[in-house]
């Protein structure tokens, strides 16, 4: 077998003249590589971000003013500014109230629900107080909305039954046709200033009784001088939807008006219906007797 001759160990580097490089600190090359890698990473991220946010070459035309934008589901959208509309009533910066705009009839009609028709008529409003005026209650064709300045003879005629008048029968007031002299006398009343309110009416019969409500039924009773009787016998004229007619409201039961039902005079709460307004409208006309 060939025999290998052992090689002598290499001489130490210092024996060959090698000297360590002390011009730079150890690990500098690694630091340069790490820095270069980090810089390349940052540049790549910035480039990718810029590319993703860069607008496409094809730019869509801007929508015209007032056109609706159709945003897809799941996308956030911002409403475009709208044209300024009419100012809402309120207060300005100084704290003073601003003038409210006037609503036109067409705007009111357009606000009505679909399928319905807006109706505006005098008969659709609740009766209001009439301004007092001089003179006696109106006769045929008069408003009859002012209290009498002196006792005046009058008969009371129904609006929807113009051939029927108030008439005292068996102590109650009913709506009956004009008859003979006796019934005509029972249909004639002296209209005086209200016993409980001088700006309203009280009705006195030929035998000195007064028409008053009791249990909400109109009847003729003799006055007992009490405050309750005076209030029961006082009725205030309110504007009616029918020309020359009035509604007679109770003093001690506001909101209740004299109305005929089955030709019986009663005190009934106001109802917003044509039938009620017709049944509760009366004209104070020239006396029958």
| pLDDT at 280 > cutoff 90 | yes
| Selected residue with higher pLDDT from 116 and 44 | 44
Q: Identify whether the C-beta of residue 251 lies closer than 8 Å to the C-beta of residue 236.
A: yes
Task: State the Cα–Cα distance between residues 34 and 224, nearest whole angstrom.
Answer: 117
* Ordered domains of the chain (ranges, CATH): 152-285 (2.80.10.50)
| pLDDT at 74 > cutoff 50 | no
Task: State the Cα–Cα distance between residues 79 and 160, nearest whole angstrom.
Answer: 59
| pLDDT at 256 > cutoff 90 | yes
Q: Tens digits of per-residue pLDDT, 178-203?
A: 887 777 889 999 999 999 999 999 99
pLDDT at 12: 54
Structure token digits, residue 178: 């004009």
3-state secondary structure of 4: coil
Buried (b) or exposed (e) across 139-152, using 16+ Cβ within 10 A?
Answer: beebbbbbbbeeeb
Q: Identify whether the C-beta of residue 212 lies closer than 8 Å to the C-beta of residue 252.
A: no
Tell me what percent of the residues of the chain surpass a pLDDT of 70: 56
| Tokens 């004229």 -> residue | 237
Residue 11 pLDDT level (bands cut at 50, 70, 90): low
Q: Tens digits of per-residue pLDDT, 138-151?
A: 333 334 455 666 78
Q: CA torsion angle for 24, 27, 28, 34 (degrees, to 10)?
A: 180
**Mean confidence (pLDDT) of the chain:** 73
Residue 70 pLDDT level (bands cut at 50, 70, 90): very low
pLDDT at 44: 83
> What is the arithmetic mean of pLDDT over 89-115?
39
State the pTM of this model: 0.53
pLDDT at 146: 59
Positive or negative torsion for Cα 57, 58, 61, 62: negative
Whole-Å CA distances, 128 to 28, 143, 193, 194, 255 = 102, 14, 19, 18, 11
């Amino acid at each position: 077998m060939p025999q290998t001759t052992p090689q002598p160990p290499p001489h130490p580097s210092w024996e060959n003249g090698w000297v360590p490089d002390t011009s730079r600190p150890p690990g500098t090359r690694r630091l340069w590589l790490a820095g270069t890698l980090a810089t390349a990473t940052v540049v790549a991220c910035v480039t990718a971000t810029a590319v993703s946010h860069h607008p496409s070459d094809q730019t869509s035309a801007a929508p015209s003013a007032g056109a609706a934008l159709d945003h897809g589901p799941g996308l956030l959208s911002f409403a475009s500014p709208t044209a300024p509309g009419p100012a809402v009533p309120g207060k300005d910066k100084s704290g003073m109230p601003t003038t409210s705009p006037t609503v036109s009839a067409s705007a009111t009609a357009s606000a009505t629900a679909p399928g319905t028709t807006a109706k505006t008529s005098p008969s659709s409003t609740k009766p209001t107080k009439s301004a007092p005026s001089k003179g006696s209650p109106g006769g045929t064709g008069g408003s009859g909305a002012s209290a009498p300045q002196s006792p005046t003879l009058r008969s009371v005629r129904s609006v929807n039954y113009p051939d029927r008048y108030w008439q005292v029968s068996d102590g109650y007031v009913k709506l009956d046709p004009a008859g003979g002299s006796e019934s005509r006398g029972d249909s004639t009343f002296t209209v005086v200033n209200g016993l409980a309110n001088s700006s309203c009416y009280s009705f006195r019969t030929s035998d000195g009784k007064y028409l008053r409500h009791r249990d909400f039924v109109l009847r003729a009773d003799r006055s007992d001088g009490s405050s309750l009787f005076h209030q029961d016998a006082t009725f205030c004229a309110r504007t009616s939807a029918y020309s020359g007619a009035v509604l007679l409201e109770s003093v001690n039961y506001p909101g209740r008006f004299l109305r005929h039902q089955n030709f019986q005079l009663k005190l009934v709460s106001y109802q917003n219906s044509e039938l009620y307004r017709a049944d509760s409208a009366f004209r104070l006309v020239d006396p029958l007797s």
